[in-house]
A and B are shown apart, each in its own frame.
Chain A
Amino acid sequence: MDLLNAIIVLFNFTVIPALAYGSQLALGAIFVTLIYAVLRFANFATGDMMSFGTMFAVILTYYFQSLGIGLGVLPTALLTIPFAILMMILYMLIIDKFVFSYYRIKKSPPVQFAMVSVGVMFVTQAIIRIIIGPSDRRFLDGEKFIIKATEFKEMTGLAEGITLKSTQAITIIVTLIVVSIMFWFLNRTKTGTSMRAYSDNEDLALLSGIDPKRVVLITWVIAGILATIGGVLYGLDKSYRPFVYFNNMLPIFAAAIVGGIGNPFGAFLGGYVIAFAEIFVTYAYKRFISYLLPEHLEPDSLLQLLSTDYKFAVSFSILVIVLLIRPSGIFKGKVI
């Protein structure tokens, strides 16, 4: 019984939050990795692009709520995602047309691309703050919990309960659906294959008649879908605040590099690696251990490896270690 309680404590406070957070990171990391693989630059505007898509979802959610349109138990934001994705893709294509395409045609070095993306980051941040402002916004409606701790305890008769927020379930399910469709597209369709070919060897791909404009267009479309869905899921789970989205860029980069940059499957797993590491290292194991040990051995301290203040630092340290030991990432991305 104690063992069961211990497992449930661990599950409730680490595994579920880490799965949800990891899914959000994974979507962002695949976005970074796709841009890196096909367009060949590190996109420093990642966080703000995700924020841009989410902004439309937030505004449309408020609008739909005022009209009385909703999905009942599910959050209204899910309904707004397709519209937000359209706006996001439109914005990305405009940016690409007026900013990135010039450097792509000139075949500029990746550093120059990175600096240009910093410029895009500034502009995107300004637009977001001018349209919606910098404040914290919650746009979650519908049912908040799927399983409540008290209900779970009554049902099973255990001392510890499991809480499953609806946002966490939605995040994990939506991520799995989106990612599987994306992998199916990349690996099984002709367009996906041409994208991979372009990413592997540009000249050879051009030679075999692949249209680079089409590849770039499709990359931005997929990127827009991933960025918006990732951003909306994060906003639903926590809250929408432009500054936090900018900061989220850092663990997303860590996830993409840890998984092996340029490798979408690696980025997907990298998101979970980073999330689990962050949460396992900063979790206080006192309650978990106290179930396993006899009463007189109960520990005094919190048994926390690092305080939660260092959450971000953990993921960055993992990145540094990976860069040192295996620079191509865990799952062999592009060799640096």
Chain B
Amino acid sequence: MTGSSVDLADFLPAYLAEAEELLGAAHRHLLAVETSVRRGLAHPRAVRELFRALHTIKGLSAMVDVEPIVAIAHWMETSLRHADRAGGRLPEPSVEPLMEGLREIEQRVRQLAAGKQAAPVPAGLLERLEALESIVLGTAPAQKPAPAVLELDAAIAARLSAAEKEQLTTGAAAGRRAVRLDFVPSAERAAAGVTINSVRDRVAKLAETVKVLPLSGPAAGGGSLTFVLLLLTDATDAALLEAAGGEPASMRALTGAAPEPAQAVPAAPEPEPALLEEEPEEQRRGAGTLRVEVSRLDEALERLAALVVNRSRLTRAVAALTAAGAPTRELTAILQENGRQLRDMRAAIIRLRMVRVGDVLERLPLLVRGLRRSTGKAVRLELDVGDAELDKAVADRLLPALVHLVRNAVDHALESPDERRAAGKPEEGVVRLACHAGASGLLDISVADDGRGVDARAVAARAGGPVPQTPDALLEVLCRPGFSTRDAATATSGRGMGMDIVRRIIVDQLGGELALETRPGAGTTFRLRVPLTITLVDAFVFECAGLRYAVAVGSVDELIDVDPARLVRPAGASGVVLVERRGSAVPLLSLESLLELERRDGQEGRGTKALIVRQRGEPVAFAVDRLVCQQEIVLRPLEDPLVRVSGVAGATDLGDGQPTLVLDLAALGLARGGGRRPAEPGRGRERAT
């Protein structure tokens, strides 16, 4: 590649983002298609969306010259086009090759993202995909049943595609009602928040929307425009009318008791593009949404952080003026207003970074599908995530932990169908992931299964310790590095990360909480609580051995003064120092030696202040030299493997252009001080490689 490689590099980031999104949609639609195929139904909408996604992937990939993806997408697209023309009908054997095709495309997109070349198409795949074409064609026309006949006005019938008509008739044949809901918009209704969009959203909860057609002309209630919604539903007319805002909306069934052949839909083949003019949904989705690179959002946040730093300086300067007797009342008022504005601005920027939890988890159904196949267990994934949103930075960290918990649940917790039957449970196990926004900026998440529960005795035997008596103690053992309850590493969970990594993500990286509930024979629930954002945090800034550090205020129990005269050095415990705090003795660690810092002035410094944090529930004091201030900081996680270390949550800029480390003291104490032992001066270099 000569000239084109330059172009590729320019377009690649946009291409990767788009491809990722399209693949996500394609997976979702293919899963929907698979579900329908199993029930012997067509799913025209999903087939069409899948076809469009692949068509776009193919086009984009051709632009950046990724031949293997173009080839795979092409053959998938070809068979899907036939399926689309056949009314969204796909034979069951075609699902697996399509899944395989998506997987292979995804793998190549990853390779490109990692700066590598896309691997060639694996042997045989194109042949399998090409063969789909004849499979799809073979099944399409003959078995098209006409189980129900639609009663449609000619004007409406003419505007429906064959696929949409079939969707209505087969839906009706499968026991749902095919109905027509007429909605008449008006200014008064719009003022009350009832618009075609709100009606669509509400109706979508009750029914499958096959088509929405705008009809102009005199309408009920004196309007001049009617939206005709063609629906498949199990809901009652009353409920649907209610969703459409009541009168003058009206309902009509589309399938009559006595089919009249004369009124049947004309079966003439239809040119596809005829419909494109009225696809309001497409427009609605595209309008008002913007894809933004995260780095740009980070940049905006950086600018804001600089403003916040500057404001602190301004506040100090004004305070100095006031102290000197200058008239600063107006200045102070402006400063206060400025503070409010900064807070609003901060909230606005944080909102920009929020992603829907539902979108983050969209790959989980696919994961569970894969597990179903590899473990042979019957399992259903229930997602109850509502509209909850999370900072992208939190979501990116959280996802691997959730994937692990779900994987563990299927792999370890759920029994085989035989065992479940013997235990009097339904054969199909359930893994349920639910989340809702809890109090003050926290998100509560639960991952629950109805499997066999955690056997505390088996866990104890494996760990070689006493049987844990409380759920917390049990969780503690499960989260030990390297702990596993299976002898053989299994294909799914075996080489993945252990519970220790889950805890590290939730507790150490995100500063959240992790808890366990389990009942033998009934199931296990993991409860997680994470902050909605870790990007902007309130922090204490302090000095230690001449360097500045920050620590999240939320992680600090208390700030204390250290009085050297009242330190206790118990006999026999070399190097352990205790500090008295409200009647109890708390171990005092020297942060300086934990950080392996060398003092420039050569003085041995046990700091004069200490921060008390909880380390596995126990208070531990970290001695520092001096507290500088409390301020809001922008936390930037350290992504590079060279500097991703326990005890360092990230870095921030305090306004001097030098990165300042943001410490996670509890994790630091555990990682470098060794759980229970306080740091002994002089140890520590051993870790350096």
Partners in one complex: no
